[in-house]
Structure 1
Amino acid sequence: MIPNPALPRLILASSSSYRRELLERLRLPFEVMVPDIWEASLPGEQPGATALRLAREKAAAVAARAPGAIVIGSDQVATLDGEQIGKPGDHARALAQLQKMRGRTIVFHTALCVWDGRASALPGPAQLENVQTVVTFRNLADDELDAYLHIEQPYDCAGSAKNEGLGIALLERIDSSDPTALTGLPMIALTAMLRKAGVRFFGL
């Protein structure tokens, strides 16, 4: 993309290809920087609070390296019966996750932080929001779950299913105010925050 001097410097604080692909939909020039933070919940911390804290820490870490930029940070925490469900990392853990979640309802907390590093930014540098998505999984047999994992290998996804891909076949219902939140970046919330920061769309 060709930089537009009328636009503020925009940075996505994430290593996620899914978030990068979503942000590309806005057709705004942006950079990607990977935040160097410790991603773990604190003792007694609620899932939504964990997601919000990590989204803010990611944005703040990159903002410290890029003064004057608008930085987007996001984090997602999945929960079943109040227990956090992380990224499985491998096939065995992913299968165990899907077996545990089949026929059940999972809550995904997708937190978003837009950090405006410009000195004139008001009312403050950070806008925060936690978008919740309630997902009901189908009650599928082990052979179907195993076959899905071999095909898509979603081992870097909390909940072990890519709803933007074949994983949609595992799901019975998705309830959310922001349809892209489950993929990792709530675009409705993001565009509202960027507008508040003075970013304009449609070439205007």
Structure 2
Amino acid sequence: MQRTVILGSTSRYRRGLMERLQMPFEVHAPEVDESPLPGEAPAALAARLALAKARAVARRFPEAVVIGSDQVADLDGEALGKPGDHARAVAQLQRMRGRTLVFQTALAVVCEASCFVQQDLAPVRVVFRELSDAAIEQYLRAEQPYDCAGSAKSEGLGIALLDAIDSDDPTALVGLPLIRTCRMLRAAGIALL
């Protein structure tokens, strides 16, 4: 019998990515404090939160295989979170224009019953174009990406803000690196295809 797969996330973007795998899965909120620790680097923050989310849900469903993920936008070692509102999104995009960021996308898969734990990081290097204030305003009014780390959605109009994306896992920038997810699910005993 195959174990239940649970996505430990409230993100509609991660849920949409999981749906691409055409497999049954449940979604449960991890209820984890996402505050960074003092001096915590963006990659370490993303990795810690991905594992914390997977473990929090796995404690409630110990027989399940639980996926946790987190993404932190890294601007020269500074973590940029989700803007939450228009003014913060404008400020983020103004800081990011003409610059290169690394979106640190972390993944963890946990099954308490089998003592399975795997974790990985899928960094995505993103080069933003030189953006005018008018272009920033037009983009934000059109897409309102206030729930996205870095204030942009590459899977939508946000692609027009960019000069380049460098990644070995194309879904990592959206928030869940599916190539790594599939690899870890197979390692945990979940049959895919």
Q: Which band: TM-score by shorter chain?
A: over 0.9
Per-residue Cα deviation, 1:20-40 (whole angstroms, up to 9, x for no partner): 000011111000000111101
Moved more, 98-107 or 124-133: 124-133
**What is residue 118 of structure 2 aligned with on the other side?**
127
The normalised TM-score by structure 2 is 0.98
Normalising by structure 1, what TM-score? 0.92
Question: Which residue of structure 1 aligns with residue 27 of structure 2?
Answer: 32
Secondary structure of the residue that 2:20 maps to in structure 1? helix
Deviating runs (4+, > 3 A) in structure 1? none
Q: Indicate the percent of aligned positions where both proteins have the same amino acid.
A: 60
Matched residues in 2 for 1:88 and 1:196: separation? 35
Question: Match for 2:85: what amino acid?
Answer: D
Q: Distance in 2 between matches of 1:164 and 1:81?
A: 24
Distance 2:192 2:44 in 1: 31
Amino acid at match of 1:43: P
Report the secondary structure of 1:159's partner residue: helix
| Residue 143 (str. 1) matches residue 143 (str. 2) | no
Structure 2 partner of 1:194: 185
Q: Is the aligned partner of 1:70 residue 2:65?
A: yes
Does residue 97 (structure 1) correspond to residue 88 (structure 2)? The answer is no
Q: Provide Cα deviations, 1:70-105, integer angstroms capped at 9, x if missing partner.
A: 000000111111111011011111011101100000
> Secondary structure at the residue paired with 1:42?
coil
- CA deviation string 1:113-138 (max 9, x = no partner): 000233xx3xx421000110000001
Structure 2: stretches of 5+ with no match in the other structure: none
1:167 aligned residue? 158
Question: Gapped runs of 5+ residues in structure 1?
Answer: 1-5
Single out whichever of 42-51 and 160-169 deviates more from structure 2: 42-51
Aligned to 2:143: 152
Instruction: Supply the RMSD in Å over aligned alpha carbons.
Output: 0.9
